[in-house]
Every structure is written in structure tokens, then in C-alpha cells.
Amino acid sequence: VRSVTASRGPGGCGPVVVIGGGGHAKVVIDVLLLAGWAVAGYTDPAPLAGEQIAGVPWLGTDEALPRLRAEGIGWAIAAFGDNARRSHLAQRALSLGFALANAVHPSAQVSPHARLGRGIAIMPAVAVNAGSVIGDNAVLNTSSSVDHDCLLGSGVHVAPGAHLAGYITLEDDVLIGGGAIVGRGQPIRVGRGAVVGAGAVVINDVAPGTTVAGNPARVLQPRRAAPAAGNPHAP
């Protein structure tokens, strides 16, 4: 978990380009507009022809980003639910000279004593309480909450309706599935790249790279690969 230097992250201004045109990007565009950003448009490899999102135009594939930067668009946000893809494209935007915008919905309650990095999406009805630190390119999805003194690394995703109690650490690239709860009245650490299944109740540390699910959450064993169809000799 890297340190975060920003205090609250940038408020609305712009113009900003949204990288991505899927369902997650649709919400990010909505949040940016409500937060007062001027949204220049979005990039996407395969939009529906001529498609606008909330009146915001498609600006081309991601190959258009250098031109958009040269034309004076100074802000970008990578808008994908997938952690790896989001972080990758945010890094690309930084390398092209964009600053990363934060999309914070007006209904979100973010403590003045919390700290936000850059490139973060905070969706409607989220709460972030005092003493918590949210790393770059995090997504705090609809109606999720991060209680006091949590430390969230970069590229994490707290899915809709998931809740973190106080003193929870999420290392980089963690996914907390929808409706999951992490907390036991003592600090818990979820290791880098771990996945917590939807609806899980996490009461112990989670090892990096593992997937846990259930109540209490336990490591999910991968299903045995099924024999390939039509190949009776497959193991």
C-alpha cells in the first residue's frame, strides 16, 4: 500500500476525458457531470455507432488520447470495473501527461479527515470515514462504506453494498465483492490482488492472490477443469 499525498482530491473542473464506454463508465460520466466537471467525451475501442452517453460524445478509440491531450484536455479518468485494466489505462493516461480526475458523487459522505489519491470513483451514497486513506484509481461503488482508519491501496474495487469496518487494510488491486463485509473489531489485512466473493463475511486476514467466499469467508478452491467436450482422452 503506497502512501497518498493528496488531501481530498480535485473537485469538479475540466475538461476531462473518460477512458471507457461500458456500464461502469456510464456511471462515472454521470457522477462527473453531477460533481461539476466539464466532460469532453469518452474513448472506447468499440462504441455503438454515434453513441453518446448522457449527452457526452465518443471521441475515438484509446489511440485518440495523445491527440486529445495535445488539444488541451488536461484531465482523464480510467473507468473500468476490472482492476487491472483500470490501473493500466490510468498509467497510460499519466504517461501521456493527463492528470487523473476524481469522480465523487455529491451524495457521497467523505470525511474531511480522510485522504483521497487520484483517478478515484466514488459512487452514490458512499461513506468514507475519518482517518481512512483511499489509494489511486480505487472504485468505491454504490452504497459501499469504508469506516475509520482504513488503508486502501491503489486499484482496489469495493463493489456495491460492501462494507469495511474500522482498521481494515486492502492491499493493491483487491476486489471486495458486492454486499461483502470485512470486519471483526480488530485490524484485518486483505492481501494484494485477493478477491472477496459477493456476500462474504471476512473475519480473518486474506492471503495475497487468493479468493475467499462465504460466512465466515474461507478460501475458495478452484473447480477441477472439466474434460474438453468431445475428447474422451482428456484428463
Ligand X SMILES: CC(C)(COP(=O)(O)OP(=O)(O)OC[C@H]1O[C@@H](n2cnc3c(N)ncnc32)[C@H](O)[C@@H]1OP(=O)(O)O)[C@@H](O)C(=O)NCCC(=O)NCCS
- Which residues form the catalytic set? 148
Compute the Cα dihedral for 29, 30, 31, 36 and give only its sign. positive
User: Cis omega before residue 15 (within 30°)?
Assistant: yes
Q: Is 4 left (phi over 0), alpha (psi -120 to 50) or beta?
A: beta
Cα distances (Å, whole numbers) of residue 70 to 17, 21, 65, 74, 98:
13, 22, 9, 9, 10
Rounded Cα distance, 99 and 76, in Å: 6
CB 100 within 8 A of CB 54: no
Specify the residue, 191 or 199, whose C-beta has the smaller distance to ligand X: 199
Indicate whether 81 belongs to the interface with ligand X (CB under 6 A): yes
Indicate whether 23 belongs to the interface with ligand X (CB under 6 A): no
Rounded Cα distance, 180 and 53, in Å: 30
Shortest distance, CB of residue 164 to ligand X, whole angstroms? 14
Q: Which of residues 30-59 bind ligand X (CB under 6 A)?
A: none
Specify the residue, 64 or 220, whose C-beta has the smaller distance to ligand X: 220
Shortest distance, CB of residue 193 to ligand X, whole angstroms? 12
Indicate whether 220 belongs to the interface with ligand X (CB under 6 A): yes
Indicate whether 211 belongs to the interface with ligand X (CB under 6 A): yes
Indicate whether 102 belongs to the interface with ligand X (CB under 6 A): no
Indicate whether 195 belongs to the interface with ligand X (CB under 6 A): yes
Specify the residue, 4 or 180, whose C-beta has the smaller distance to ligand X: 180
Residue that the C-alpha cell 483521497 belongs to: 116
Shortest distance, CB of residue 55 to ligand X, whole angstroms? 24
Indicate whether 159 belongs to the interface with ligand X (CB under 6 A): yes
- Choices 11-19, 30-38, 48-56, 191-199 (CB under 6 A): range interacting with ligand X: 191-199
